[in-house]
Amino acid sequence: MTDFLKRRTMAFPQQLLDGYRAFLIGRLRHEQDRYRGLAEIGQSPQILVIGCCDSRVSPEVIFDARPGELFVVRNIGNLVPPYTPDGAQRAVSAALEFAVQALKVKHIVVLGHAQCGGIRAFVEEGTPLSPGDFIGHWMELIAPAAAEVGPRGDRSLDQYLTQLEQASVVRTLDNLMTFPWVRSPVEQGTLSLHAAYFGVATGQLSVRDPATGTFRQVAAEDYTRMFAQPRF
Ligand SMILES: [Zn+2]
């Protein structure tokens, strides 16, 4: 640790302390046995979710997941770079490798979302935030999806961004297939890849139908029943 950090006392955020207390009296009390069991036997999630860092799109919340159920990788724009065994420190590839090869997950879900700041940054070619421009370089991964979607043309910005967000998710599935140890179980039928899309403003979840290539809302009847009176 740097000397500066050793000298400086920084208060742990009160919001997190309050949240942890709520967890103690709520979730932990109900799921203590589950936590103990998972500590003894280890985790064995069946599903890997690749999501965005966006604070509004938490996979555990959206899928109402309990501890041990989802193995989650989050990064700006919910992306997976193509297979590149170059010895570099590749966080997404390492997590993917662990999920597929060690945990032997049965499903990989790439979860895109509306109003993605990463996608928007790519479209607007914003000024780099830092000399390293980490976001700019990272978001270059969606260039192939942008080429597929084509120029914006007559589309509204919202329409265009939605199409790009969804095309990027599909392109990420293609990138996943460049990993030999993903392709092989997919071809053998022991691993399935899925594309999903969460509407932040509406709370609607859509899943891509592989037959048609279109995203279709899931649990649509439940959604309609719940929100017969629009709340959004
Ligand atoms: Zn995002």
Buried/exposed code over 86-96 (b: 16+ C-beta within 10 A; e: otherwise): eeeeeeebebb
Residues near ion ligand 1 (Cβ under 5 Å): 52, 54, 116, 118
User: What per-residue confidence (pLDDT) applies to 23?
Assistant: 97
User: What per-residue confidence (pLDDT) applies to 80?
Assistant: 97
Residue 209 reports pLDDT greater than 70: yes
pLDDT tier at 2, thresholds 50, 70, 90: confident
Give the angle subtended at the CA of 203 by the CAs of 186 and 151, to the nearest 5°: 70
CA distance 205 to 138: 26
Q: How many angstroms separate the alpha carbon of residue 105 from the centre of ligand 1?
A: 24
Count CB-CB contacts under 10 A for residue 76.
Answer: 18
Q: What is the pLDDT of residues 84-130, one digit of tens each?
A: 999 898 999 999 999 999 999 999 999 999 999 999 999 998 788 88
CA distance 206 to 189: 23
Q: How many angstroms separate the alpha carbon of residue 37 from the centre of ligand 1?
A: 34
Identify residue 42 by its one-letter amino acid code.
G
Residue 230 reports pLDDT greater than 80: no
pLDDT tier at 10, thresholds 50, 70, 90: confident
> Phi, psi (5° rounding) for residue 52?
-90, 155
- Of the two residues 29 and 3, the one the predictor is more confident about is 29
Q: How many angstroms separate the alpha carbon of residue 116 from the centre of ligand 1?
A: 4
On average, the pLDDT of the chain sits at 94
